[in-house]
Amino acid sequence: MPKPDQRNALEVGERVYLREPTSRDAAQIVALNRASRTFHRGWVMPPTDSGTFVTWMRRCRQPNVKCFLVCRLADGAIVGVFTLSQIVLGMFHSAYLGYYAERPHDGQGYMTEGMGLVLRHAFTRMTLHRVEANVQPENAASIALVKRSGFRLEGFSPRYLKVAGRWRDHQRWAILIDEWRRLRPRPRVPSRDRGRRAPPGSSSPGRPRSG
C-alpha cells in the first residue's frame, strides 16, 4: 500500500484528499478496476489493462480534461476516481463530471467527501461556473451522490450516451457556482446579536462543505 503523499494534494478533506494520477499508479488502478468489474459494469468503462491505462492517462493530460484520484488520508489508498471533461471556458466555464468508486471502498462516504473536494476545486481553482453529471435513471447510488452533493435535475435525454456498446437514457444533473456557495454552512450568530446589522466588510465567507 502506498504512503499518503499529500505534497501532491490538490484538495484535502477530513478523510480523503485529491491528487492527479501518474503513470506510477498504473498497477494499483488496473488492479482496483479489475476487482470492481462487476460493480462498474453498465455504468462506466475504466482502464482494466496497461493499454487502456495509457490511453486514459493520455486523455487525462489533455488541456480540456482533469482527472482526480480520491485517496484515503490514513494510508494513501485510491478509493475512487473523478474526471472533469470537455472543460470549456470562454462564455461557458463549464465541464462534465464522471466518477466511480473502487471496491471495496464504496458505500463509506469517501465519494461524497471526494465530490465535495472536486466541486471546491472546480469552482475555486478552476473558476468554473457550472458542472454537469449525466446519470442513468436506474443508477440509484449515483443519483443519491449527486443529490446529496447539491446537484439539481435539469432534464432527461433519451439514448444520450453510448456506454458499454449501448445508447443509454440519462438524467442530466448540474450545479452552478452560486448553488455550491449556498451549500456552505452559515456562520453561527450568537442569539443576542441576531437581528443586528453586521458592520461592512465583516462577513465571513466560511468554508464550503466537503460533501
Ligand X SMILES: CC(C)(COP(=O)(O)OP(=O)(O)OC[C@H]1O[C@@H](n2cnc3c(N)ncnc32)[C@H](O)[C@@H]1OP(=O)(O)O)[C@@H](O)C(=O)NCCC(=O)NCCS
Q: Least distance from C-beta 92 to ligand X, angstroms?
A: 21
Residue (of 164, 180, 169) closest to 131 by Cα position: 180
Q: Does 99 bind ligand X (CB under 6 A)?
A: yes
Q: Least distance from C-beta 38 to ligand X, angstroms?
A: 10
What single DSSP character describes residue 83?
A: E
Nearest CB to ligand X, comparing residues 137 and 187: 137
Q: How many residues bind ligand X (CB under 6 A)?
A: 20
Q: Does 96 bind ligand X (CB under 6 A)?
A: no
Q: Least distance from C-beta 181 to ligand X, angstroms?
A: 22
Residue (of 41, 38, 43) closest to 135 by Cα position: 43
Select from 19, 21, 25, 40 the one that contacts ligand X (CB under 6 A): 40
Select from 100, 123, 173, 180 the one that contacts ligand X (CB under 6 A): 100
Identify which range of 58-66, 109-117, 178-186, 195-203 contacts ligand X by CB under 6 A. Answer: 109-117
Nearest CB to ligand X, comparing residues 94 and 171: 171
Nearest CB to ligand X, comparing residues 18 and 44: 44
**In terms of C-beta density within 10 A (0-12 exposed, 13-18 middle, 19 or more buried), how is residue 76 classed?**
middle
Q: What's the Cα-to-Cα distance from 115 to each of 120, 157, 211, rounded to whole Å?
A: 8, 23, 6
Q: Least distance from C-beta 141 to ligand X, angstroms?
A: 3
**For residues 42-61, which are near ligand X according to CB under 6 A?**
43-44
Nearest CB to ligand X, comparing residues 128 and 143: 143
Grid-cell match 478523510, residue found: 15
Per-residue x/- track, 138-167, ligand X (CB under 6 A): -x-xx-xx----------------------
